[in-house]
Structures are given as C-alpha cells and as structure tokens.
Chains A and B, each alone.
Chain A
Amino acid sequence: MTMKFTKNIAVALIAIAGVAGAASASSKADKEPIKQVWSFEGVTGKYDQAAVQRGWQVYQQVCSACHSLKYFKFRNLAGMGYEDDMIKAFAKEYEVAGEPDDAGDETVRAALPQDTFPAPFPNENAARASNGGALPPDLSLIVKARHDGANYVYSLLTGYSDAPAGRDIAEGKSYNGYFKGGQIGMASPLSEGIIDYEGGMPATQEQMARDVVQFLMYVAEPKLEDRKHMGFSVMLFLLAMTIIFYLSMKKIWKPVKEGKNFYED
C-alpha cells in the first residue's frame, strides 16, 4: 500500500512540476524560437571561448551602437580568455566620466578595467529619440529575461522576413515573427559580412547571431562554469554521504527489523 502511495505521489509531483514549467510559456509571437544546440547547455556545458570572443566583437561593432550592457565591466573580459594588458587596452579605447576637477568642472578619462562598458545613450529619452520611439533594452540579462532566451535571441536576430499578407507594418518598424506582436522597432541588425572576424571566419547572419548569443549568455551569467563545476563536486559528495547514511541506517535498524523490544512493559 505504501508503494502505491509512493507511486501516486511521485506521479502527482511530476505532473505539478511539468505544469509549473509549461505555465510560464505564454507568448504572443507568431513563431516559437528555433531550437539550437548550445555549448553552455547541459550539466557539463561550457562556453565556447572562441565564439564568446567573436560575439564580443559583434556586440562592440554592431549592438553597442544602441544597447547598453550595464552589468558588464571590462574586467569581466578576463573570463572570456583575455589577458590583463589586453583588457586594459580594450578599456582605454573608451571614455567614461571622471571625478570633477579642482575647479569643479566635469572631466572625462579613459576607461579602466573596473569600469562598466559605456552606454550608447545618456538616458532613456535619448535612446528612444534615436530609435523611432522604441527603447533598446539593456542586454546584460536579456538571455535570462526571455523564455527560452538563447534560442529566442538567436531566432529574433535571424528571423526578419516579409510580413504575412494583410499585415500592416508601421513606419519605422520591421516584421519579425519571433517578436511579441510581430512588429519590432529594431531593424535587422546583422547582415552578411557586416563584421570582419579576426580569425577569418565567414560572417554569415547565422554565425554572428550564434556568436553574439554566446557572448550575451556569458554576460548574463559569467559564473556559469564555476557553478556547474562546483555542482559536480557537491553532488558527488552528497551521493557518497547519502550512501553512507543508507548503509549505516541498514546496520543500525537491523535489531528493529528483527523485532527487538526496547522497552520492558
């Protein structure tokens, strides 16, 4: 009877878990994101360092014209395989606000590794004004802030097409079947060959989209590899501990199973 109870509860719990997962999947886009295989997925997933670096190049040369990365500091480049002096050199190419000088006037200085990657617009209004009223969101967490984020961003970047017949697209908007509502205020940002990849990799739209997703995933979760790495040790430790507890339990419980009576009366 206990077995049946166990089985039933297990079934119920799995059903609840499945439901909770499905419950969040409400989207009003025309198309579901295309499923891609990503190196960072799965329990042993890692970033593809070359792709992350290429993605950084895509972000710098294309996306950074409109999108900020407010949680990304130059020093985070270290996790992408860059050396300290390279990071300093990267940072130096950008200017950030400095301390006021002795006269109290504002100053600018070259960026340092601890600085955040500078935003393209000083504020939301400026960003909207340059983008036909649409606000380019900060991309630091975009992969986590969308359902099925990596596939979604990839699909969005490669998913521009002609609008279905009868669908009116407003001035300054483009049709994108993966975007909620179908009309997006971002023109297709990636066109073939827009980037000269440092390694000579052909810059197809799919390639650039895949690379920039790798980079954005890294920005969203720089500690992903640490997390999975530690996860393995912790799970192994817990497993060993659980087995020891199980064997101890079997041994300790033996007299009970044999019907030993602990209390006199």
Chain B
Amino acid sequence: MAEWETIKPENKALGWFEERLPILSLVHNVVGPGTPTPRNLNYWWNFGSLAGLMLVIQILSGVVLAMHYTPDTAVAFDSVERIVRDVNYGWLLRPMHANGASFFFIAVYIHILRGLYYGSYKAPREVLWMLGLVIFLLMMATAFMGYVLPWGQMSYWGATVITNLFSAIPFVGEDIRTLLWGGFSVDNPTLKRFFSLHFLLPFVIFGVVILHIWAKKVSDSGNPLGIEVKSGADQIPFHPYYTIKDAFGMGVFFLIFAYFIFFAPDALGHPDNYIPANSMVTPDSIVPEWYFLPFYAILRSITFDIGIPGTDITFISAKLLGVIAMFASILLLFALPWLDTSKVRSARFRPTYRWFFWFLVADLVLLTIVGGRKPEGIYPLLGLLGTAYYFAHFLVIMPILGFKEKTLPLPESIANPVVKAAE
C-alpha cells in the first residue's frame, strides 16, 4: 500500500471539515492523484469502475421505479404498465432498469474473466477476490428477485422453479422454502418480501463494494504482466490518467447500453413476461434471464440419483445433486486462489493456461446455449459434459497445471518490460 497523503485544503471551512472527517484525503488516496497505479493497465481494467457505475444507475432508477410500483399480485403487473404508459419518462426508466441489470452483469462477467485471465485472485489479493464473489452472489439474488416483481409469467414460474430448489436440501429444505414463500406457494407474501429484499440488497452490495475497493487499496491493483510494482517508475497517479481512461470506456459502454434502451428495449427480455402471471398455465419452457443460463444448465445437468446400484437406496437425489452443483460452481471460486498452484499470475506467461482459459470461456458459452434450450435431444448430454468440464477446470486442471506448466520468463519490471532471461 502506498503511503497515505493528507490533504490540506486552502479553504478555511473545508480545512476545518477535512480535519474532522478527511473525506477529500480518502478520495485523493483511493482514486485520486495520490493513488499510485501500475502504468500498464489495459482496457480490461475498465470494467470494475463500469460495474460500480451500473450499480449506481440501478439504485437511482430503482428508487424512482419503487415510488410508482405496487408489490401486490392483484396490481403489480398493471402498476408496471402504468409506469411505462402514464408516469413521466416511465417508458425510459423501466427499460433502463431492466437492461441495466443485463449490462451490470456484462460488466461484472468481463471483470471476473479479466481476473481469471490475469490471475487477479492470487496472493495478496485473495480477500479482494472473495469480496468480489460476495458481490456477485448478492447481485444474483437481487436480480432474481427483481425479475419476479413485474409479475409476468416468467416472473412467477421462474420464482416457482428456483424457490422449489431449496426444498431439496435435507431436513431444513421445506422450511426454507416456506420461509421464502411466506406461505404454501409463490403468492402475494412472496412478492412482497422479494420487493422488500430487492430494495435492500443493492445497498448491502454497495457496502461490500466499499470493502472491495478498500481491499484493492491495501493490495494495490494488479496489472497485465502480473508482476509486482518494483519502483516508482512502474506507476502513474490514478487521477487524471485512469479517471480519463475510465471516462472514455464509460462513453463506449454507455453507447451500447443506450442502443439497447432506446432501440431494442425488449431484446434481452422474454415475451412471456408480457403475459400476467397465471398459476394455472405453465409456459412452454421456463428460462431465466440470459445471465443465469450457465448456472441453470449446471442445475439441470444432473439427472441421476446417487445411491446403491440395484437397490432403491438413494443417498443424494438428482435434484439435490443439481442444486449442490449449481451452488458449488460459484462457491468453488472462493477456493480458486489455492486451487491455482502456479507461481505466475498472468496468462501472458502461461502458454498452456491460456488455452485452458479459452476452453473455459467456450464451456461457459456452451452451458449458456444448453441453459436456454429445452432438456431434449443432445442438450442434456452436452449440459452434463459442460458441467463436468467446468468442475474439472477448477478442481483438476488448475491444481495440476501449476506444477506441470513451463511458464515463460517474466519481464524485469513494468516500466522496463524486457524479458529478464534475454539479458
């Protein structure tokens, strides 16, 4: 961690305040001119601040939507239509919030993949990485509950499928499900508690984001070379260099985001959610939002019980196994700093890992495809293979690769990226 610089504002009143609550110093030292940052960060490092920005946009648009939305099964759907039709700029606010969730996930997924490629999770950044995963989990919960609020067919049936999963947990499962429902099926109490939690969780995320940034301040940013900062020559001040670079990235990202809001507001949604929820009619296929598809595929990939063959005895039912696999697929990322045994951080100097990284990306694409299809024909098999490969990547390939891989020589320093061995 770089030395902490104290700011002494010229302005008397400001100085008085700063002495009592050094907020300017905080900004100065965390994302300001007093924040030495590796000079070689590439555009993949833009997505952290973009994710933060999306969180702010979601909170702001969400707070206004909540002023007009009514969490009651009788009128929830109508109240959303009323927002779009009769509230000033409601037609803008709603697609902004709905597509905002998608773009929040896009930013976060790229941010996570960046971390996987450049080994950002490795010492000394394990806690930084884990806090990121906590944010990711909270985001998933928030997005899932948010999708229930418009009370369309997909809202209702998505909520039914996902909450039913919890009943697979031994002993306490049924109780957990009842607690989520607030009754004996997805109904009015469910909608009301989901609304309440959907409002609350973003602020919890905000809190964890602060911890995440704090941890970043302590361990400093990583960089594409994955080597430590050796001297001042390796660094530049965060402001103005990375603030302007982030601003440019924001411009590009917002252009794409705006395109979706204004010209394709329903492209990422499902038409069935324009049909009011109806517990008597099951949709053709129940699919979650695109950002959940890989995990949904993992969930559905397991279709066999584990037990003693040839008897009726089952230890773990297929359903429970699917639920375990789905949660494990994310929870195991918490152990990644230790599962990856390589001494080298960046995939730039890990020629074999680079291949496996792209295999993993391909596997996630495959799982996304499978998650969106009905479990018929070839898809269940593909889902099972994709799931198996996903776990193999983290539990088998990563640990072994660290020992076997012949890594490339690391450069001497960030400022002088000449390969050491070449000297």
A residues sitting closer than 8 Å to B (CB atoms) are: 1-2, 5-6, 8-9, 12-13, 15-16, 19-24, 26-28, 43, 71, 137, 140-141, 144-147, 149, 180, 222-223, 226-228, 230-232, 234-235, 238-239, 241-242, 245-246, 248-249, 252-253, 256, 259, 261-265
Q: Is the CB of A228 within 8 A of B237?
A: no
CA distance A232 to B244 in the complex (A): 25
In the complex, A9 Cα to B266 Cα: how many Å? Answer: 24
* Cβ contact within 8 Å between B262 and A145: no
| Chain A min CB distance to B236 (Å) | 6
Contact B232 A265 (CB under 8 A): yes
- Across the interface, name the chain B residue whose C-beta is closest to A246: B248
- A selection of 28 A-B contacts at a CB cut-off of 8 Å is A2-B42, A16-B365, A19-B368, A20-B293, A23-B290, A23-B293, A24-B271, A28-B284, A141-B274, A145-B271, A145-B274, A146-B271, A147-B271, A149-B271, A180-B284, A222-B85, A227-B92, A228-B262, A234-B258, A235-B258, A235-B259, A235-B262, A238-B251, A239-B255, A242-B254, A252-B240, A252-B241, A261-B415
Q: How far is the CA of A118 from the CA of B265 in the complex (A)?
A: 29
**Chain A residues positioned under 8 Å from B267 (CB to CB):** 21
Whole-angstrom distance from the CB of B333 to the nearest CB of chain A? 19
Closest to B244 in A: A249
From residue 349 to 377 of chain B, which have CB atoms closer than 8 A to chain A?
358, 361-362, 364-365, 368-369, 371-374
Residues of A within 8 A of B106 (CB): 13
Q: Is the CB of A16 within 8 A of B368?
A: yes
CB distance from A43 to the nearest CB of B (A): 5
What separation, in Å, do the CA atoms of A31 and B91 have in the docked complex? 33
B255: chain A residues within 8 A (beta carbon):
235, 238-239, 242
- B368-390 vs A, CB cutoff 8 Å, 1 = contact: the mask equals 11011110000000000000000
As a 0/1 sequence over residues 255 to 295 of chain B, the CB contacts with chain A under 8 angstroms (1 = contact) are: 10011011101111011101100000000110100100100
Q: Given A21-B267, A144-B271, A245-B244, 4 other A-B contacts at CB below 8 A?
A: A20-B268, A238-B258, A242-B255, A264-B232
Which of A13, A28, A145, A234 lies in contact with B272, CB distance below 8 A? A145
Main SS at interface, chain A = helix
- B271 and A23 contact, CB distance less than 8 A: no
Q: Please report whether the interface of chain B is mostly helix, strand, loop or mixed according to DSSP.
A: helix
Are B271 and A231 in touch, CB under 8 angstroms?
no
Interchain CB contact under 8 A, A241 and B251: yes
Say how far B355's CB is from chain A's closest CB, in angstroms.
11
A241 to B272, CA, bound (A): 37
A12 and B245 form a contact (CB under 8 A): no
* Docked pose: A28 CA to B285 CA in angstroms: 11
B224 at the interface (CB under 8 A from A): yes
